[in-house]
Amino acid sequence: MFNFFLLILIYSGIYALMALGQNIITGYGGLLSLTQAGFFAIGSYATAILTTRFGWSFWATLPAALILSAFFGLLIGLPTLRLKGDYLAIATLGFGEIVRNVLNNWDSVTRGPMGIQRIPMPDLFGFTINPYKKYAFLVMVFIFVGIAYFIFQRLARSRMGRALSAVREDEIAAQSMGINITTYKVFAFILGASVAGLAGSLQAVFSLSVTPGTYTFMVSVMVLCMVVLGGMGNFKASILGAFIIQLISYFPQLTGLSSVIPPQFKQILFGLILVVMMIWRPQGLLGREETRYGKKVAKGHKGGAQ
C-alpha cells in the first residue's frame, strides 16, 4: 500500500515536469498546445533506444532526449506560429498522434507495438537507482522537478517571462514594444518540449520498458488538466495540479475499489473537475502568480508623485 503511494508520487513527479513545461507554453505564452505526450514519447524512446541499442548510459541519454525533444519543439513551433486557440490545439494534437503512429509503425527502430524492454537501470557512482526500490528513484525525480522549477520560476520573473506574458496578453502591442513574438513563441515551445523530453527519459528508466500505448492523447489532456486545475501562470500550482490529478487517477486502486469502479471513472472525474473549476474557480486553485515589484527589487525608490 505504502509502496503504491510511492509509485503515485513518482508518477506525480514525472507528470509535474511535463506540467511545468505546459505552463510555460499555455500559462505564460498563452498557446493552447496539446503536444506534451509527443515530446514525452520522444524523450522516452530516445533513452530506450540509446541505452539498449547503443549501450549509452542513462545520464548520457538525458541531454540527448532533452535536445531531441527541444528540436521537435522547434519543428512544431515554427509552422504553428500563425495559429491560435482551437486551431493551434488541433494542429498540436495532430503532432502528438503522428509521433505515436510513427513509434507504432517504424518497426526497425522502435520495434512497433512490442515496444522496447530491458532498459538498463541508471547508475550513479556505482549505486544503482533501482525503480523497484522506489526511494532513490523518488529522490532523483524530485531533484529534477526542483531544478526545473527553479529555472522556470526565475525565468518567469526575468524579462523573458514578462515578454512571454506580453505576447499572451496582446501580440500586436508586444510587437510594437520591440518584442520579437516569433522568437518567444518558439522559445516557449522549445522549453516546454525539452522538460517533457526529460520527463519521458525518466519514465523510460522507471518502467524499464516503453510501448507506444503509454503515450496517448490522454497524457496531453491530463497534463493540460494539471495546469488548469492548479492555476495557469503559476509553477507551484502546476506541481500541485500534477499531484492532485495523479491521486485522482489512481483513486480506485488506492482505495481498493478498482473492482467496483470502472477504469473510465477517472476520465469522467477529469471532465467533472474541469467543469466545476470553470464555474467556481476559473483561475485555478492557486491562481496566476503575481510578481510584486517594488518589494523585492526596489531599494528605497520614492514612489508617488501624487
Alpha carbon distances (Å) from 59 to 40, 107, 143, 203: 17, 26, 14, 14
Would you state the cell numbers that stand for residue 26, as one nine-digit string?
499555455
Would you state the cell numbers that stand for residue 8, as one nine-digit string?
503515485
Residue 121 within binding range of another protein, rule CB under 8 A: no
Q: How far apart are CA 211 and CA 44, in angstroms?
A: 9
Q: How far apart are CA 199 and CA 141, in angstroms?
A: 9
Q: Helices 217-230 & 235-249, crossing angle to 10 degrees?
A: 120
Residue 51, CA atoms < 13 Å, CB-side half-sphere: 29
Binding to another protein by CB under 8 A, coded x per residue (else -) over 158-197, reads xxx-xx-xx--xx-xxxxxxxxxx-x---x----------
Identify which of residues 55 and 178 has a Cβ nearer to another protein in the complex: 178
List 55, 126, 256, 304, residue binding another protein (CB under 8 A): 304
Cβ of residue 235: shortest distance to another protein, in angstroms?
16
Binding to another protein by CB under 8 A, coded x per residue (else -) over 269-288, reads -------------------x
Identify which of residues 105 and 183 has a Cβ nearer to another protein in the complex: 183
Residue 74, Cβ density class (10 Å: 0-12 exposed, 13-18 middle, ≥19 buried): middle
Cβ of residue 36: shortest distance to another protein, in angstroms?
24
Query: Which candidate, 247, 235, 191, places its Cα nearest to that of 16?
Result: 235
Amino acid (one-letter) located at 105: N
* Contact yes or no for 222/269 (Cβ under 8 A): no
Identify which of residues 54 and 293 has a Cβ nearer to another protein in the complex: 293
Query: Which candidate, 51, 2, 19, places its Cα nearest to that of 243?
Result: 19
Residue 153 within binding range of another protein, rule CB under 8 A: no
> By CB under 8 A, which span of 19-27, 129-137, 249-257, 291-299 interacts with another protein?
291-299
Identify which of residues 55 and 303 has a Cβ nearer to another protein in the complex: 303
* Contact yes or no for 28/187 (Cβ under 8 A): no
Total number of residues binding another protein (CB under 8 A)? 38
Cβ of residue 292: shortest distance to another protein, in angstroms?
6
Q: Kindly identify the residues of this chain, within the stretch 57-116, that bind another protein according to CB under 8 A.
A: none
Cβ of residue 285: shortest distance to another protein, in angstroms?
18
Cβ of residue 220: shortest distance to another protein, in angstroms?
25
Q: How far apart are CA 49 and CA 64, in angstroms?
A: 11
In the complex, which residues of this chain contact another protein (CB under 8 A)?
154-155, 157-160, 162-163, 165-166, 169-170, 172-181, 183, 187, 288, 290-294, 297-299, 301, 303-306
